[in-house]
Structure 1
Amino acid sequence: MLTRQEDLELRNAAMTWLEVRTQDGLNPIGYEDLLQDFYFRGERRALKDRQAGICKPAVLETALSITTTYRAEGKERPYDDAPGPDGLLRYKWHKTDPNHAHNRGLREAMARGLPLIWFWGIAPGLYKPIFPVYLVAEEPELHQFVVATDGLQNFESSGLGGEEAFREYAESKTKRRIHQPVFRGLVMQAYETRCAMCNLRHSALLDAAHIVPDRDERGIAAVRNGLALCKIHHAAYDAGILAVTPDLKIEVREDILDEVDGPILEHGLKRLHGEELRKVPKRRSDRPDRDLLAVHYEEFVRAPSAAAPRIDIGFPGLTAGDRTVPQ
């Protein structure tokens, strides 16, 4: 059995290894990698249980990680661990026995304030690691623990349902630490880590863009509300410079088409006008939802064109758009 200090060292080493292996959480990691590839002090240590959702290694008194299994299309949402009234997520016990070793391991990790890793399934045998997460309370009548992310572990979650500021903060933190990385993983998996518009394949330069923002009640947390876009095309999409029609064609804003600028504008944006998306998911159920595309496209059409600003450069009547300077 490892000592308490060794327990903490193992966790820190595991999270450092995951940072390197997944490029700070950008990329998912496979089931076998989690079982076979991590070593601590020369010995192989599995970071995930082979069968159960809770990983409580025999050498520890505490749980090390928790897992949310991937659910195929046809289920409700790809992840539906909704925040409670305090804005924090819940994680179910292993079965219903409070004294099961896995549940005791979670309880002990909570008592010591130890960080855990949450592996969220985004495809069969493929997981998005979220870390660190903390258990801050237990709700035995519901057979579950209350899970918090960065900074929230110092708050007492129970009974805070009436504190609006805390709830908004907790919900915002949850989306950033849990839902957004999982959404990214699902979208990248569906689009085979390629930009839908230009086919760029560099994970660090790609984002998972929402068709309809997640703050909108129509902005569902599902791949069909997502597009894999490189950072330039994501920014252009969010800024209303371009849009995708319900029949998957790209439209560039009219004033941008009339603008003259460098190669990025000419070849990276203007040339896309009228083209179809270059990459769409193979599974029909993962392809962009036409109704959601219509919502964004209608906003794009209604928005006024943003003419280039005229910038005063120091001479009366002369702006940056003029071609000559007085002699």
Structure 2
Amino acid sequence: MLEEQFSRLIRESAMTWLDARPREQVDYAWLSTFEYEGQRIPLMDRQRGIRKPASMNAALSMRTVFTKPGDTPPYADAEGKDGLQRYKYRGDDPQHSENRALRRAHEDGLPLIWFVGIAASLYQPIYPVWIVGDELQDLQFALALDEGQRLITPGTSVSEDTKRYVERTTRARLHQPMFRARVLSAYKSRCAVCQLGHVQLLDAAHIISDSKPHGDPVVPNGLAMCKIHHAAFDSNILGVRPDLSVHIRQDILDEIDGPMLRHGLQGMHNQKLTPPLVRLAQPDPGRLDERYSEFLAH
């Protein structure tokens, strides 16, 4: 009981520390500086995917490594039919020490920190998450991303309302943060339209909305945009042609107003976007064509 209380205190302290992190994404070097009552406790293991400090009986964190666009991930973490996220075992031995450490966190109902790779050696922390199911036959654990998801029994049929709730929560707590992090990383934290480089003023814009077919939260379906250009894109004031050139709607080009309109929008007409250098991270031409047709229809 004392160990479990100690474990909970460390977790609360670690998550509070992460709340105050200076950057949205983190790396091993920074995560290794966490201390609890004068004791240094790195939050990520350099070699292992699952972190269980020697002073604890259960896992503290887990990691999903970054996979380059077009590559196959080493572990096929995915959602189940119940909408809950899955996390694959380490290897195919359920009794591997790392799997036992996660199983202990499940048995004790302890929250975990999930570090999801968004670039080489760079991670987005997602927390708190809980293990709510141990699916031995599939060599995986079922995860809950909030308290509400903890009430769902993994592998069971759920109502449409419940499934929509699970999907909304997963989108808000996992897909959207990861989409933003990966898109901004691919574009080197600069607006593709105007090259503004202040990350606080940048968004990851979906080319195809995530409510539509082909609206997957993947980098080729995203554009890094400052907030003014994102809003203009979403409201069909600004369109992007498949050749990556910007089209400003004619009524906006004809309007007379202040410097923001003149330089921020009108001045962008027929300018080329600046895409990522990595080809597989560049905007998908098919999605751009579909979205540009929608822009022209307005």
TM-score norm. by structure 1 comes to: 0.85
Counterpart code for 1:15 = M
- Give per-residue Cα distances to partners, 1:140-191, cap 9 Å, x unaligned: 1111110011233441323532421111111121111111111111111111
Rate the CA distance shift 1:78–1:166 in 2: closer, same or farther, 3 A: farther
Conserved? CA contact 2:76–2:88, under 8 Å: no
Counterpart position of 1:150: 146
Q: Distance in 2 between matches of 1:79 and 1:237?
A: 35
2:114 aligns to what SS in structure 1? strand
When structure 1 is superposed on structure 2, of 244-253 and 43-52 the one drifting more is: 43-52
Say if 2:47 is the partner of 1:57: no
Rate the CA distance shift 1:156–1:42 in 2: closer, same or farther, 3 A: same
Counterpart position of 1:114: 110
Q: Distance in 2 between matches of 1:161 and 1:39?
A: 43
Q: Distance in 1 between matches of 2:193 and 2:75?
A: 27
Identity percentage of aligned residues: 48
Say if 2:140 is the partner of 1:140: no
2:55 aligns to what SS in structure 1? coil
Counterpart position of 2:220: 224
Match of residue 286, structure 1, among 246, 268, 281 = 281
Say if 2:68 is the partner of 1:72: yes
- Give per-residue Cα distances to partners, 1:75-114, cap 9 Å, x unaligned: 2589963321111001112223333322222122112222
Say if 2:30 is the partner of 1:33: yes
Match of residue 241, structure 1, among 237, 240, 265 = 237
Counterpart code for 2:280 = S
Counterpart position of 2:38: 42
TM-score norm. by structure 2 comes to: 0.93
RMSD between aligned alpha carbons? Answer: 2.0
Where does the alignment leave 5 or more consecutive residues of structure 1 unmatched? Answer: 304-327
- Give per-residue Cα distances to partners, 1:261-293, cap 9 Å, x unaligned: 33322221121111112x321112211121111
Conserved? CA contact 1:161–1:167, under 8 Å: no
Misfit runs of 4+, over 3 Å: 76-81
Where does the alignment leave 5 or more consecutive residues of structure 2 unmatched? Answer: none
Rate the CA distance shift 1:156–1:12 in 2: closer, same or farther, 3 A: same
Rate the CA distance shift 1:45–1:2 in 2: closer, same or farther, 3 A: farther
Larger Rg: 1
Counterpart code for 2:196 = L
How big is the shift at 1:255? Answer: 1.3
1:66 aligns to what SS in structure 2? strand
Match of residue 123, structure 2, among 122, 127, 130 = 127
Counterpart code for 1:11 = R
Counterpart position of 1:7: 7
Say if 2:173 is the partner of 1:170: no
Rate the CA distance shift 1:297–1:76 in 2: closer, same or farther, 3 A: farther
- Give per-residue Cα distances to partners, 1:6-37, cap 9 Å, x unaligned: 211111111122122155xxx21112222x22
Rate the CA distance shift 1:171–1:78 in 2: closer, same or farther, 3 A: farther
How big is the shift at 1:136? Answer: 1.1
Rate the CA distance shift 1:77–1:139 in 2: closer, same or farther, 3 A: closer
Q: Distance in 2 between matches of 1:61 and 1:153?
A: 25
